[in-house]
A and B are shown apart, each in its own frame.
Chain A
Amino acid sequence: MKINGTLISYFFICKTKLWLHANRINLEDNSEDVRIGKILHEINESKSKKAEISIDNIKIDKLTRDYLVEVKKSDSDIESVKWQVLLYLYKLKQKGVERKGKIEFIEKNKQDKKIHYIDLDEVNEKELLKICDKIEALINAPVPPTAKFENKCKKCAYYEYCFI
């Protein structure tokens, strides 16, 4: 299975969700936050007058002369967004396109700035490949890892599945 942005972000958010999603038990999320996210995506798309770019199995929000831009609703999970962007940068690099990464958050709840920059360097490229291997191994396991309850589980679309 090819690693995409969703999988890499789920790796940081929740391993159970990662397994279930990758094994095609993907549960629909009707939450308000997801709707807002989708609408932000549409607004962003109409503003830049360019549709998102699909390369292989990844989807890039915006590509400028210097930056690859990823737009998110909130900065609640910076770590996962960071690696998502690094994956995109890595994939682009393989195609011979080198860019820097820029993350725009609409709401800043945890951090004090709305824009974050991240670049692919030797260290995090190595780390990225390691993470990809780990994801591969995880999703090929015969059963999903058992979920442990955390606060964030409360608003997850998989909550009922995990804790029933």
Chain B
Amino acid sequence: MAKNHTRYIFSMGELKRKDNSIAFRNEKGNFYIPIQDTRELYCMNEVSFNTKFLDFISKSGITLHLFNYHGNYSGSFYPKEQLVSGDLTIKQSLCFIERRLHIAKAIVRAIALNIHESLYHYFRHGKKDLKQVLDWLKNDLEKLLNKELTIEQILFVEGQVWNRFYDSFKYFLPEDFIMNKRVKRPPDNPINALVSFGNTLLYTKTISSIYETHLNQTISFLHSPREGRFSLSLDISEAFKPIIVFKTIFDLVGKKRIQVTKHFDKSLNYALLNEEGKKIFIDAFETRINETFMHKKLKRKTSFKNCIKLDGYKLIKYIVEEKEFSPFLLKEKM
């Protein structure tokens, strides 16, 4: 589906049900959002609504993602589960007990290979300093993962993959975007702000995609299911981070469409995107996630966003039918 099913609301106002349509009202007047091809609504500012509105979007199968003024994710409202399979939930839990490590390794491998793919682009264009990290991602990592590891060790390997990736930014990003250290909650510099914002957007997209499958959102494999979040979405989104979030960041920063002095909040030491910055980022992010290509296995055109759902299907097949689980790889295009 090439159509974009996502609407973002940036201003303060009120969301209402108006007959069979969604109306957004602020001081500038009424805006109508057609319900038919909307699947997700993102509120990036203070928005009020009532239960009549929630009931309406719930019936229409729309997911609502809420962010506070600072761009931090507050939570999601999604329609009551339509696709519930008790049988699959039981099998998913069993799978966690018996085959957790296998899935966790598959995810880490996919993160590394997708990072490799995105860094290779810069290597090919003359950034030869990347050679060492590329070799490590391709060769050493596979050796590491082939060993017998505990979940803690797998998570440690995953941490190393990301650290080496962040460390390599200095070879191809402009100086003011080089990352010294990944800092979350709250991010302390521009690049961390972009990473946090992008990861959160991807996470919410994944929640909406998993919602379209029968998977239980709370039973995860790489992340601990004890995190009390929809941790399966954290798992599934990992492999897509390098190719969606980071690709968006590299493009915007490389082409100077996002600049430290213009698009970040000065009063907070540039550690938060300002409204214009958010808009530019979301626009590029949406374009990227809706980009279509020929899926090698399905032999039909598909978008990256749809591939997130397809990874859900792969996981179901692994859980139910024991078919090999391998998350989406950019190189294989499947």
Contact = CB atoms under 8 A, between A and B. Distances in A.
Nearest to A154: B300
B214 A160 contact: no
B212 A161 contact: no
Nearest to A146: B321
A1 to B, nearest CB: 12
Most buried by B among A143, A144, A161: A161
A28 B212 CA distance: 8
A25 B85 CA distance: 7
Interface string A131-164: 0000000000001100000000000000111011
A24 B88 CA distance: 8
Given A143-B321, A160-B310, A164-B317, A25 B298 contact: no
Contact of B83 (A23, A26, A161): A26
B85 A164 contact: no
A25 B320 contact: yes
Contacts of B82: 28
Interface residues on B, range: 20 to 34
Given A25-B85, A25-B88, A25-B320, A164 B298 contact: yes
Contacts, number: 40
A31 to B, nearest CB: 12
Contact of B320 (A28, A143, A160): A143
B125 to A, nearest CB: 33
Given A25-B316, A25-B320, A28-B212, A163 B297 contact: yes
Interface string A1-42: 000000000000000000000011110100000000000000
Interface in A66-117: none
B27 interface: no
B250 interface: no
B87 A24 contact: yes
B297 A164 contact: yes
A164 B309 CA distance: 11
B310 A144 contact: no
Interface string B79-96: 000111111100000000
Nearest to B310: A164
Nearest to A163: B298
Given A25-B320, A144-B320, 16 more contacts: A24-B85, A24-B88, A24-B214, A25-B85, A25-B214, A28-B212, A143-B320, A143-B321, A143-B322, A160-B309, A160-B310, A161-B313, A161-B316, A163-B297, A164-B310, A164-B313
